[in-house]
Chain A
Amino acid sequence: MPDTIALRVDGRAVDISAGSTVLAAVAIAGQQSCRRSVSGESRGPLCGMGICFECRVTIDGVQHRRACQMLCAPGMEVRTDG
């Protein structure tokens, strides 16, 4: 595996070390929030362990992926909605 992985978050290029989560990539892209709540509040990650679902983002067109549970892969396209 290469040491760093290149991916995009909201169109921004991010280089990140292999083994990092998508959540880390979102933070490196300068984004504190991941999604909008049902009443429109912007929300960021809470539990870091896959149970709260606050870190949901769209990865390669698939919605509702939990960023804290997904590892970065080369060429990923991540979209937040915060």
Chain B
Amino acid sequence: MAEHRGEVVVIGAGPAGIAAAERAAAYGRSVIVLDDNPEVGGQIWRGERERLTRGDVRWILGARVVDVVGERALLVEGTGGGAERVVFEHLVLATGARERFLPFPGWTLPGVTGAGGLQAMVKGGLPIEGKRVVIAGSGPLLLAVAAYLRGRGARIAYIAEQAPWRRLAGFSLHLLCSVEKLRQALALRVALAGVPYAASTWPLAAEGEGNLERAVLRTSRGTVRIGCDYLACGFGLVPNLELARLLNCDVRDGFVAVDEHQRTSCAGIFAAGEVTGIGGLDLSLLEGEIAGCAAAGHESDAHRLVAQRPAARRFASALAEAFALRGELKALPDAQTIVCRCEDVTYERLAEHTTSRSAKLHTRCGMGPCQGRVCGAAAEFLFGWTSDYARPPVFPTRIATLTAYHEVTT
């Protein structure tokens, strides 16, 4: 099995990972970045190679980190199926976040997608011109996605934000504190001129024969039905904690716990970006830089950057407060709504249990290939179940990868 060694190894080629890698490389460290996407950029800069400006960094893409093997080594599976071992001295976890999806009747119909999810698909070449799209869920991501899709020729029929106007108004005041954020907000307004945007509005159902045909929305003025080709839903973001858990890094309030230099509770392991809290691009970049300095042993440079963090963090807490999910969304699924899409476990079957462990043992919820990445975040919201458990490998892995490692060690 091939082996790579890096003084600093970064997992995740999103903004945080890129910033960390370029900083560490600038200090002359040998740096490797691993990411499971075929292109760099993470979620927001998907495929934008021009973001890589400086530095002598080794990018290993299409490479999924599936396990931790031994003291300081990772087991990596390539898209083509090959297995590699990556040995690190210092590790930066920049694994980012994913969308939270909530179940409602019809959400398993083809055509119902994530919001950031649909954007990612279009960035990957999915044709969207002329398609009618309803966007629903919560957070500023809905607007960013709407503007992007409209720019690619989609017809945005409706944007449904579950948060109430009162909260959104409070959040807008926060934008006034930053010229850049205000500029972005105004640009979105222009890009979305004429698109209906409603607060206190959420999806009740997706309808159609075989494929999605209509979105049913609850609005303050009653129920509306809107014909569409896509219903793109995202209810906020949740961190990708699986590797941090496998490495035994402390998790606090649902995120990887870090000190002011982005150090986790494990020596030599740092975390940056949305695994440590949902705070948007600026905070991810800043944390990445701090982690890059600290992982390269340049603590004083890291320290200089720390001063910029409180402002970025304030924005993060304003986000969390404004777009908190309302309790009514817990009532969206009916008894027959599938919650676990891998094993087709219905709401009714899950509701018989009081813990995720019991549900897992009796219904197989969370035991399918997504390993609970979709239903786990939904069940956390619906039933208050938390799971602090990560089982290796963190992604379904080919037997050949696991046996290749076994041959090396025995």
Contacts and interface: CB of A to CB of B under 8 A. Distances in A.
A37 B341 CA distance: 8
15 contacts: A20-B124, A37-B108, A39-B344, A41-B338, A41-B344, A46-B112, A46-B113, A46-B114, A46-B374, A48-B114, A48-B117, A48-B120, A49-B116, A52-B370, A68-B124
A33 B109 CA distance: 9
A61 interface: no
Of A16, A25, A51, A64, the most chain B CB neighbours within 10 A belong to A51
Contacts of A68: 120-121, 124
B34 interface: no
B374 A48 contact: no
A43 interface: yes
Given A21-B125, A27-B126, A37-B344, A50 B113 contact: no
B120 A46 contact: no
B153 interface: no
A10 to B, nearest CB: 15
B137 interface: no
Interface of A: 16-17, 19-21, 23-25, 27-28, 32-33, 37-39, 41-54, 56, 62, 64, 68-71, 82
Contact of B114 (A21, A38, A43, A47): A47
A49 to B, nearest CB: 5
A32 B374 contact: no
B374 A20 contact: no
Nearest to B115: A48
Contact of A33 (B43, B110, B127): B110
Contacts of A49: 37, 43, 98, 114, 116-117, 120
Closest 6 CB pairs of A and B: A44-B110, A20-B125, A24-B125, A48-B120, A21-B124, A48-B117
B342 interface: yes
B17 interface: no
Contacts of B37: 49-50, 69
Interface of B: 36-38, 43, 47, 62, 79, 81, 98-99, 101, 108-114, 116-121, 124-127, 210-211, 240, 338, 341-344, 368-370, 373-374, 396
Given A47-B99, A52-B370, 4 more contacts: A25-B125, A47-B374, A49-B117, A68-B124
Contacts of A44: 109-113, 211
B128 to A, nearest CB: 9
A17 to B, nearest CB: 7
B30 to A, nearest CB: 27
A52 B341 contact: yes
Contacts of A37: 108, 341, 344
Nearest to B123: A48
B125 A17 contact: yes
B210 A42 contact: yes
Contacts of B99: 47
Given A50-B36, A69-B38, A41 B108 contact: yes
B335 to A, nearest CB: 15
Contacts of A39: 344
B110 A82 contact: yes
A82 to B, nearest CB: 7
A43 B369 contact: no
Contacts of A46: 101, 112-114, 117, 341, 374
A53 to B, nearest CB: 4
A43 B106 CA distance: 11
A78 B122 CA distance: 19
Nearest to A31: B110
Contacts of A50: 36-37
